[in-house]
Structure 1
């Protein structure tokens, strides 16, 4: 998974980042909420881990911003704040879980797995033409048959499906599907054409000069 971490305590932030990286995840970390909003593309992540008391923009404010943007990526709050009022506020705003400091890193991973498993039970979307998109597999199925997409096409379709109904910019697609500074819109457009041949041209709409949007 691609994870966005916000934690202003240096040692803890580095330990979490190292632990999750060793577990095979990709982690971008920040110690300042304002800097996170400036530099991070929130649409490209699979999981958010936020401390609450951080400089500039706190964890609660970030979650409000994320929900306003209709981003449904799961959020775990990690905080030394143990009052029932803070915990209640976090859940009312839409966080997926709340982990009190100090905690074992293995517990953080376990909670992340449980949340992703609960999401995966309903992460299937019915497409036109009798097709089904499965988020956990990042694949398109017709009945029991998985339709053929290249790895790169699967990544591009995943980020579009994750934000279906919303315009996904070329930069967001490139940031998610490519690890370097790749920005060749022609190559992305070529992949989109091939994806359309599999799922139907009407499913992916081109928003000229901006990006693409899944509609159905």
Structure 2
């Protein structure tokens, strides 16, 4: 049994905030490796073994989006969270597009940060423990984040796409409550999170469109419904 503490890479260029976050997380039994700029954070990631990455967006050398993109090229599954003072929709969506799994706006409480960290770690654990499922003519391999249509080449899903599809599948032919899934995967049901989820739903529809019997319906005012024909 592996009793090693959870190891988190933290990249934050504001010294006082960095130390507050580092010390608060360490008091909760987490191991923190702190970096003050994007370039050193990326180098540290390459050399280390981490369970989760927390990146400030605005950093010298490389910004958080650039670091996340490079990390995703090396590791498709590790959870990535952004710390950001930015709240524009395009900035939030960009974070998800480059491979981020969550974001938290400054100023934030340590309690909120810790809850979000544990949510990401729990999602990772769920993904590792789950198997594969049939969705119409697709095989959905949740641990590998892949959709396989008949004998075609697998279609790669992002971390968030895989979790969103898992929850849709788990509630197949029923309405998946919009607020519930926003809180579960985004940690908030605010406007920015809602816009982001709509983008991910659109992406999933495109990836599932090889099987015309599958639909993801928008049930206005309630949420989404994954329609799968009975077999």
TM-score range, shorter chain: 0.5 to 0.7
Structure 1 vs Structure 2 CA RMSD: 1.9
Q: What is the rounded CA distance, in whole Å, between the counterparts of 2:44 and 2:128 in structure 1?
A: 28
Match of 2:31? 26
Task: Give the TM-score normalised by the residue count of structure 1.
Answer: 0.55
Listed one character per residue, the Cα deviations across residues 79-117 of structure 1 (whole Å, up to 9, x for unaligned) are: 101111100000111211110000001100001111111
- Superposed displacement of residue 69, structure 1: 1.3
**Does 2:95 align with 1:90?**
yes
Q: What is the rounded CA distance, in whole Å, between the counterparts of 1:76 and 1:63 in structure 2?
A: 9
Match of 2:41? 36
Question: Does the CA contact (< 8 Å) of 1:43 and 1:71 recur in 2?
Answer: no
| Partner secondary structure for residue 103 of structure 2 | strand
- Superposed displacement of residue 42, structure 1: 5.5
Question: Does the CA contact (< 8 Å) of 2:42 and 2:71 recur in 1?
Answer: no
Figure out how many residues of one structure are paired with residues of the other and give that number: 127
Match of 1:6? 11
Match of 2:108? 103
- Superposed displacement of residue 124, structure 1: 2.9
| Partner secondary structure for residue 77 of structure 2 | coil
Instruction: Return 5+ residue gaps in structure 2 as ranges.
Output: 1-5, 132-142, 144-231
Q: What is the rounded CA distance, in whole Å, between the counterparts of 1:41 and 1:20 in structure 2?
A: 22
Task: Give the TM-score normalised by the residue count of structure 2.
Answer: 0.52
Q: What is the rounded CA distance, in whole Å, between the counterparts of 1:34 and 1:70 in structure 2?
A: 17
Q: What is the rounded CA distance, in whole Å, between the counterparts of 1:102 and 1:108 in structure 2?
A: 11
Deviating beyond 6 angstroms after TM superposition, the runs of 4 or more aligned structure 1 residues are none
Listed one character per residue, the Cα deviations across residues 98-142 of structure 1 (whole Å, up to 9, x for unaligned) are: 10000001100001111111222221388xxxxxxxx9xxxxxxx
- Superposed displacement of residue 40, structure 1: 4.0
Match of 2:73? 68
Query: After the TM superposition, which residues 41-190 of structure 1 pair with which residues of structure 2 at under 5 Å, given as runs?
Result: 41=46, 44-124=49-129
Instruction: Return 5+ residue gaps in structure 1 as ranges.
Output: 127-134, 136-216
- Superposed displacement of residue 72, structure 1: 1.7
